[in-house]
Structure 1
């Protein structure tokens, strides 16, 4: 049974995910503008609805970590089992968020292990959890793992086992952009673009191949090098990239999930406020 602290962590993670969904314009990704388009209304609306279906599973992951007390192989296996059950619940609610569930699940569990840890310490603990093998994981390869093997990309597992370097870079961008006078939304968009500029996104590799991935990375760098979304030049570059990716139907979904992880870490510590 989860405690108030576990439920607070789960709520914070879901809030981070819905906060990511609320940003606009997000290049190639669903955002609130989709509500004005009949053909895509269910896409964004269902993603928001299904995000809420993550909460019970994330609370269970936090409870498992708190009960175990250490980033052990047993905890990694239990988190995997909870995650697969949560994926099923999310599918019934509309689907999506598989990458975000992986990142947020590990980060929530890590935060539960040390309730007063800072963001970077939580990422380091998540790395220790991810280093273990899920002994009960299905043996069939996922699309992400197949793409990772084909192109030599780190993928979601590699990102976690490295201590979520793109999540940490996104956190740095959030801090720097806000300090420079950007709004919260602009800082979050800059953080997303920071991830997009270097992440070997397996979803993009699958749909667009290596050339497409490099095209998206270069587009994200152009926005940042133009001064970011808080500047007129950067905003124009963002609009151009957004139109380009939507026209090509290329979606950097891996970057979106990692931004949600960064927004969650940026909200810590939530247990203190929940007590």
Structure 2
């Protein structure tokens, strides 16, 4: 895998994140309706802009995995250092996407280790990387780790060490919805709700507590049980869930990050752009040898 391929993986990961951002209506999550941060307190345009700041860091993560060639403690430490640097860059660009950086970084590194991997194989490669401790992590616990310890939730770290089961669930939901003829936007919304229905989202636990988390999970299941977002009953249930989460200020951010990861894995294999010089050489070759 070359640096050009690392760049292509990073671009595909950011494109998946932007596809997640563009999806609407997402209950409690920023989407194109939030052009002025009206409801979720996150400006959709600013989030699209800052998403692009992830690209150099994700390319560096792919390059680190490619150079190392195996899931090792050293690779885990390097990915952690790159991630912290990338968080700073994203903060300068407007902030956001911390959860997506964690998920996409592991998946991009997993693909760099296993270029032919798809679906669950990519998640398995990410699991092997996440099995190691990040030796450079700051000693002060993050909010997510504190919430995980308080409520016994898996959290982002536990999700990764389990092989990103909610990324796999989202991929299964996408496949099932497409097989049933569901339009792509609704298939992606159904995948998001599938994640929301079971994920122990530490952001929700922090803002809403265990009862609030269960209420959101039940609301997501209700949309799916009503027929999904492509059905009239499902759309009504989705609108009710969306209005409730907006009113309460509850945001299932972990689900959004995991959907972005699923959309990235769904896009594999990533085509590598051909450089202009290579295109010119190819064109000249065809001209000389018809």
Q: CA deviation at 1:118?
A: 1.2
Contact 2:54 2:101 in 1 (8 A): yes
Equivalent position of 1:100 in the other structure: 100
User: For 1:32, what is the secondary structure of its paired residue?
Assistant: coil
Equivalent position of 2:199 in the other structure: 199
Contact 1:26 1:189 in 2 (8 A): yes
User: For 2:228, what is the secondary structure of its paired residue?
Assistant: coil
Equivalent position of 1:78 in the other structure: 78
Equivalent position of 1:190 in the other structure: 190
- What is the CA–CA distance in structure 1 between the aligned matches of 2:132 and 2:263, rounded to whole Å? 25
Pairing 1:37-186 to 2, within 5 Å after superposition: 43-186=43-186
- What is the CA–CA distance in structure 2 between the aligned matches of 1:274 and 1:61, rounded to whole Å? 19
Higher helix share: 1
Contact 2:37 2:43 in 1 (8 A): no
- What is the CA–CA distance in structure 1 between the aligned matches of 2:91 and 2:36, rounded to whole Å? 24
Deviates more, 1:197-206 or 1:35-44: 35-44
Contact 1:9 1:59 in 2 (8 A): yes
- What is the CA–CA distance in structure 2 between the aligned matches of 1:89 and 1:273, rounded to whole Å? 25
Q: 1:88-132, CA deviations, whole angstroms, 9 ceiling, x for partnerless residues? A: 000000001000100000000000111111121110010000000
Equivalent position of 1:242 in the other structure: 242
Number of aligned residue pairs: 273
Contact 1:182 1:230 in 2 (8 A): yes
Q: CA deviation at 1:274?
A: 4.0
Q: 1:136-172, CA deviations, whole angstroms, 9 ceiling, x for partnerless residues? A: 1111100000000000000000000000000000000
5+ residue gaps in structure 2? 275-290
- What is the CA–CA distance in structure 2 between the aligned matches of 1:209 and 1:40, rounded to whole Å? 18
Equivalent position of 1:254 in the other structure: 254
Q: 1:7 to 1:168 in 2, by over 3 A?
A: same
- What is the CA–CA distance in structure 2 between the aligned matches of 1:134 and 1:125, rounded to whole Å? 17
Q: CA deviation at 1:273?
A: 4.4
Q: CA deviation at 1:39?
A: 7.6
User: For 2:33, what is the secondary structure of its paired residue?
Assistant: helix
Q: 1:245 to 1:39 in 2, by over 3 A?
A: closer
Q: 1:177 to 1:246 in 2, by over 3 A?
A: same
Give the RMSD, CA atoms, in angstroms: 1.4
Q: 1:252 to 1:64 in 2, by over 3 A?
A: same
Using structure 2 for the length normalisation, give the TM-score. 0.92
User: For 1:200, what is the secondary structure of its paired residue?
Assistant: coil
User: For 2:86, what is the secondary structure of its paired residue?
Assistant: helix
Q: 1:55-104, CA deviations, whole angstroms, 9 ceiling, x for partnerless residues? A: 00000000000000001110000000000000000000000100010000
- What is the CA–CA distance in structure 1 between the aligned matches of 2:181 and 2:38, rounded to whole Å? 36
Contact 1:177 1:187 in 2 (8 A): yes
Deviates more, 1:35-44 or 1:91-100: 35-44
Q: CA deviation at 1:37?
A: 6.5
Contact 2:193 2:220 in 1 (8 A): yes
Q: Based on CA coordinates, which of the two structures has the bigger radius of gyration?
A: 2
- What is the CA–CA distance in structure 2 between the aligned matches of 1:127 and 1:160, rounded to whole Å? 6
- Say yes or no: does 1:9 pair with 2:30: no
- What is the CA–CA distance in structure 1 between the aligned matches of 2:273 and 2:117, rounded to whole Å? 15
5+ residue gaps in structure 1? none
Q: 1:3 to 1:273 in 2, by over 3 A?
A: closer
Contact 1:14 1:54 in 2 (8 A): yes
